[in-house]
Amino acid sequence: MPGERLSIRDNAAVGRFHGVSASNGQAVPERHTESKTKKEESGCRCWFQKACPCCFRRQSSSYDVSGDVDGVAAGDGEKEEPTPLTPTGDTELDELTLAVRSVDLLSRKSDRNKAEHHTDQYNSDQLIIRRGQTFQIELDLSRPFNPNTDKLHLEMKTGPLPQVSKRTHIIIPLVDELQDESWEAKIVEQNVNRVRLSVNSPITAVIGKYKLTITTQYLKTGETTTHDHDKDIYMLFNPWCEDDMVYMEGEKELKEYVLNDTGRIYYGTEKQIGARTWNFGQFDEGILEACLFVLDNSEVPPSGRGDPVNVVRVVSAMINSPDDLGVLEGNWSGNYAGGMSPTAWSGSVEILRQYHREGGKPVKYGQCWVFSGVTTTVLRCLGIPTRSVTNFQSAHDTDVSLTTDVYFDENMEPIHHLNSDSVWNFHVWNDCWMARPDLPAGLGGWQAVDSTPQETSHGTFRCGPASLAAIRTGQVYLKFDTPFVFAEVNSDKIYWQRNLDGTFSQIHSEKKAVGHCISTKAVGSDERVDITNLYKYPEGSEEERIAVETACRYGSKPDVYSSPIAEDVRVEVRMEGEGPRMGGDAQLKIVVKNNSSQPRRTTLHSQVAVMYYTGVLKDTVKKDTLNVELNPQEEKILEWVLPYTQYQNQLVDQAALMMTLSGRVSETQQVLANQTSFRLRTPDLNIEPIGEAYVGKEMSAKITFTNPLPCTLRNVVIRVEGLGLRDLHPIKVGDVSKHANVTVTEHFVPTIAGKRKLVASLDCRQLTQVHGVADIDVQESQ
């Protein structure tokens, strides 16, 4: 109608219909009714062509000029020239089509997603979320969304070959109300063209890196558009969600076992427990990418990453490298040419970054505490509550007997080639927390996982997860690798002597020889907490004996407990205080006690050998024979000394030695046997922060060290690192003279506020396991 306001669609009428003005929209007097009608038809045809091009074929000309109206006489009898018409492009159709112009994943630290999903500590601008919990995104559309005429859905894909059937290609519909246990999205806010969506994921969602696509459709024309977002979305396990298999109750525990990026790892012997700080660094830049790269390098497809049992088993295999080019190459030889000495590492960050940066080439070198530290980093990064655990006097059962066997010949000399079972001074593995629906009820909770390559499990070097509840009760028939872990913590040590006919007889047993002082860092402090009670009942209790005998019935020597052995003479080794120090004579006490009412005589044979912490003996450094006579109920204490000169050139990494005692009581033929390991204590690095710490301002720390040895240390290197303080930095100190003091000053610029730890370790051929830590409280810049 003349004088009416034109709609967006009617803009194409300008210059084509009578009564339409391009200048002010006012009506022009009609001159010829017939020509107006025909021209209106032509304009309708043109618009229809544009609105539905598949139904109306375009003309080859740029302009739509209808022959029916060309040359029609105007009211004054003059012939009207053809009027140029608007190009028949898709302008009107584009204005009707709904398209996504941009996507905001709300992934900044200040956005609610990261705070609600407990992922705000990750040093990344990517969206990192936890499954089973809603997250929000914002879409900027080409026009307002109309639920009556528009459709919208999301797609998320993970892995190289996403498939709907494998739950790696997810189609997320738009719904009115979100339901639990399903992928869905709901509009929760709309402001003109901007739409905010709340997206829900199920608690069984596959973890990993997802690509996001948004598809929109205008129902009236069927026109569909897709928008592939250029940023990834990272999905993690959710220990805060009650329905997730890794759910853990208690904010203090979650803060410790998921969110704490530093920790303590214990080493040494049960009587000389040492501790070192380890930087897990699971939130550091690039570590999440590196952890997912570890999973990608395994043979397990992405579809298997929804089950934490499966993921933990994969990680256990991929942290070591013998059969799958995993993260770390183990080395217990003492020769670390071409790589880093295991004792020189103080954190996981550089290890994982190097593995990722070099495309999956194993990093050199690791031993058990390094394997455990990296495992803690990876599992905490993925959202599984995890801790590093140290077992002192840790058995390594090589024949599935579930006993630790020691063999002697006819003269009570050890038969070294048969003594393949060993007892490590200490061994470090991991506990991770999860439900175990694949096992009988009651066996969820802490699960033992060991990434150090010792024995194969189903053809691959890995171990666990093994339920601590199953280990404690001797249910070694339950998966995974429960027999091996049981033997590590609760096997009896059985001594065998070769008979003249070549057979062996059981001559002695130690029921409390392995699995002592099982240790982990306490929740909320740097104190050590003993968790031995989680792995076994109190030693000697009826429940503990039942568990041992139950387990051994499933081993390769089920009759080992058929004949109990009487004992009335006891022998043990004691040490004063924290034990002998590196660089001095080692002094121990051998205690022999007669518990009978009769006199007893015995000859004790002692030998001391240098030992790798794994229990493998290197060289014997001293042998003695001791004649002992005991009155009834008498206890004798024998002083024993190993001079420094006898061991100074023999020690290996952990400065550990093993004393083996054996003998026979003359009156009863009772066999006496005892093995005691001890280490020579090393000094600490002392770290003293200088001045106050502020973000972005340079500060210093003074590191001091005293050489305890009466010889020169060669090519000394001190490595310093601290999460939020500085990346790993080697300081070349050079040679350090005997008993000399060394002081170095390290300069660095803190980048993160809060309580941080600066860690340093010393590396040289003659002296290892020297390290230190300082707490630094970093303030925001003033």
82/579: higher pLDDT: 579
Element (H, E) at 195: strand 194-200
Active site residue 427: yes
Query: In the prediction, which pLDDT does 556 show?
Result: 64
**Residue with structure tokens 């028949």?**
88
Element (H, E) at 743: strand 741-748
Q: Is the CB of residue 660 less than 8 Å from the CB of residue 413?
A: no
Residue type, 477: Y
CA 374 distance to own-chain centroid? 7
Residue numbering of the annotated binding site: 490, 492, 539, 544
729/565: higher pLDDT: 729
Mean pLDDT of 511-533: 95
Highest mean pLDDT pick, 158-172, 406-420, 478-492: 158-172
* Selected catalytic residue, list 46, 261, 324, 368: 368
Mean pLDDT of 579-607: 88
Query: In the prediction, which pLDDT does 455 show?
Result: 79
CA 315 distance to own-chain centroid? 8
pLDDT surpasses 60 at 727: yes
Query: In the prediction, which pLDDT does 51 show?
Result: 45
**Residue with structure tokens 């990453």?**
305
DSSP 8-state assignment for residue 581: B
Q: What's the CA gap between 112 and 127, in Å, rounded?
A: 11
Residue numbering of the annotated binding site for Ca(2+): 490, 492, 539, 544
pLDDT surpasses 60 at 59: no
Which of 648, 655, 660, 578 is closest to 612 using CA atoms?
Answer: 655
pLDDT surpasses 90 at 75: no
* Selected catalytic residue, list 18, 229, 427, 508: 427
Q: And the tokens for 700?
A: 């210093």
List, in order, residues 6 or more apart from 437 with CB less than 8 Å away.
245
Give per-residue pLDDT as tens, 117-151: 999 999 999 999 999 999 999 999 999 999 999 99
List, in order, residues 6 or more apart from 404 with CB less than 8 Å away.
395, 396, 397, 421, 422, 423, 487, 491, 492, 493, 494, 513, 514
Confidence class of residue 334 from pLDDT cuts 50, 70 and 90? confident
> Is beta strand 656-665 parallel, antiparallel or unpaired with respect to 671-679?
antiparallel
Query: In the prediction, which pLDDT does 663 show?
Result: 83
pLDDT surpasses 60 at 82: no
The pTM of this model reads: 0.73
pLDDT surpasses 90 at 61: no
Percent of the chain predicted with pLDDT > 90? 55
pLDDT surpasses 70 at 65: no
Q: Is the CB of residue 103 less than 8 Å from the CB of residue 138?
A: yes
E strand residue ranges, 503-575: 504-510, 516-521, 528-530, 569-574
Query: In the prediction, which pLDDT does 255 show?
Result: 97
Q: What's the CA gap between 758 and 509, in Å, rounded?
A: 46
242/3: higher pLDDT: 242
709/72: higher pLDDT: 709
Mean pLDDT of 621-625: 87
Q: What is the 3-state secondary structure (H, E, C) of 110-125?
A: CCHHHHHCCCCCCCCC
* Averaged pLDDT score across all residues of the chain: 84
Q: Which range (381-395, 522-536, 604-618, 680-694) has the least confidence?
A: 604-618
Confidence class of residue 603 from pLDDT cuts 50, 70 and 90? confident
Confidence class of residue 548 from pLDDT cuts 50, 70 and 90? confident
* Selected catalytic residue, list 450, 481, 653, 763: 450
Based on the number of CB atoms within 10 Å of its own CB, is 223 exposed (0-12), middle (13-18) or buried (19 or more)? middle
Query: In the prediction, which pLDDT does 768 show?
Result: 82
Confidence class of residue 704 from pLDDT cuts 50, 70 and 90? very high
Helices 287-297 and 308-318, axial angle in degrees (round to 10): 90
Highest mean pLDDT pick, 25-39, 339-353, 499-513: 339-353
Q: Is the CB of residue 760 less than 8 Å from the CB of residue 718?
A: yes
Give per-residue pLDDT as tens, 199-224: 999 999 999 999 999 999 999 998 99
Give per-residue pLDDT as tens, 432-453: 999 999 988 788 899 999 999 8
Active site residue 771: no
Element (H, E) at 490: helix 482-490
Confidence class of residue 79 from pLDDT cuts 50, 70 and 90? very low
Q: What's the CA gap between 724 and 752, in Å, rounded?
A: 5
Query: In the prediction, which pLDDT does 560 show?
Result: 64
Q: What's the CA gap between 371 and 486, in Å, rounded?
A: 20
pLDDT surpasses 50 at 32: no
615/58: higher pLDDT: 615
Confidence class of residue 113 from pLDDT cuts 50, 70 and 90? very high
Query: In the prediction, which pLDDT does 558 show?
Result: 64
Give per-residue pLDDT as tens, 282-293: 999 999 999 999
pLDDT surpasses 60 at 699: yes
Mean pLDDT of 510-534: 94
Active site residue 229: no
Residue type, 26: Q
